[in-house]
A and B are shown apart, each in its own frame.
Chain A
Amino acid sequence: MCYPDLLIRGIPSKDCLDPDGLLPSTQLFQFNKPESARLPGYREESINWYDDEGAITHTFNQTKEDGITIHFKVGIAILCRSELDRIRNNPNVRQQFGYERHPLTGNAYHGNMLLKMDTPKHLVRKIAAQLALNVTEIIKREDYEGQ
């Protein structure tokens, strides 16, 4: 499977950023969804792979299930895939963390970060913090729409 160097995580609420809007909170990566029905033993966190510039536009335009409500009201965060690899290769994580490409109808960019269900809570929180700390860029909706 071929992956680009960058990936995008949508920012749904202001709680996911610090008050200045410059640094992401660890809440952006909570890994608290229920077990995946498709991949038993794992929970998923949706991302979009930055295959091309269209991935940014697509993420900003994503809506919730009602097809109307904008999903990522605050903006998007961009991360390097190398950071995911670094976390995945940490011996303490023991291959509990990974990622996949999983295109959906209407979203060819879609993928997931994957975390095993039995990952201890302190590792879950640490991985979330590492991801948040290593966000390389935040694009706020107001800035994107003002372009």
Chain B
Amino acid sequence: MKRSFQQTNSDNSDYLGDVPLGTDSTSGSLAEGPEENYRSLSAAPFPTDKDSDYFRNLPSNLNILINASDAIRRITDPEKQRDVVKFLLSVQNILLTNRFALDSIGSLPPLRININEDDSVLVEWIFRDFRIGFSIETDRSQSNWYLVSNQNLNQVDFSGLLSLQDIDELLTSIIAFVLSNT
């Protein structure tokens, strides 16, 4: 069943409890346990050259990852850095998949990537009437996302735990929200 925000508007989660953040969703199959999943993630071919850019050059109106490479280099925990890169690559793919629809709404604000005092990484997409956030926590099982709006957009509020296993579906829903409200 396709996810919609209405279905996830609760404080329970859409987190798949047996699938830790960082599981390689592109592999087509999961290793048997969390540790196995983590090892497969560790072996994934993420960029490691600190002088290289992680992301493709997106069209200027879609270039919301313009600050991403610099921000990622500030993350000192390599595991968290990998998680953030993996997440942002998913964002990039969804942007490219939806680029023609997104062209119609003009320029999009860049993602803000901040490292909180508790070492979590907050990736935030801030619009005037709503904001979307993805928090990569030190305890991966607590990583989460939210979408909140002000009263111009009926004060919606959604949140849930974040799993890279089904991140594309979540991102697609979020892009649909952006397209409808920008």
A134 and B150 contact, Cβ closer than 8 Å, known pairs A25-B124, A90-B157: yes
- Cβ-defined contact, A26 with B118, below 8 A: no
Interface residues on chain B, size class: 20 to 34
Tell me, in angstroms, the Cα distance from A23 to B128 when the chains sit together: 8
Tell me, in angstroms, the Cα distance from A90 to B142 when the chains sit together: 21
Decide yes or no whether A108 CB sits under 8 A from chain B.
no
Closest Cβ of chain B: how far from A146's Cβ, in Å? Answer: 26
Decide yes or no whether B38 CB sits under 8 A from chain A.
no
Find the residue from A30, A130, A133 having the highest chain B CB count within 10 A.
A133
* Secondary structure of the A contact surface, majority rule: helix
A-B contact count (CB 8 A): 73
A133 and B148 contact, Cβ closer than 8 Å, known pairs A27-B114, A122-B160: yes
Decide yes or no whether A140 CB sits under 8 A from chain B.
no
Interface residues on chain A, size class: 20 to 34
- Cβ-defined contact, B11 with A92, below 8 A: yes
Find the residue from A32, A120, A132, A134 having the highest chain B CB count within 10 A.
A120
Find the residue from A15, A26, A94, A120 having the highest chain B CB count within 10 A.
A26
A26 and B133 contact, Cβ closer than 8 Å, known pairs A122-B160, A123-B11: yes
Decide yes or no whether A64 CB sits under 8 A from chain B.
no
Tell me, in angstroms, the Cα distance from A129 to B11 when the chains sit together: 15
Find the residue from A15, A92, A94, A121 having the highest chain B CB count within 10 A.
A121
- Interchain CB contact (< 8 A) of B116 among A32, A126, A129, A132: A32
Q: Which residues, 71 to 103 on A, are CB-close (under 8 Å) to B? A: 86, 90, 92-94
Q: A91's closest neighbor in chain B, by CB?
A: B11
Decide yes or no whether A141 CB sits under 8 A from chain B.
no
Q: B130's closest neighbor in chain A, by CB?
A: A133
- Which of A's residues lie within 8 Å of B, judged by CB? 15, 18, 23, 25-27, 30, 32, 86, 90, 92-94, 120-123, 125-126, 129-130, 132-134
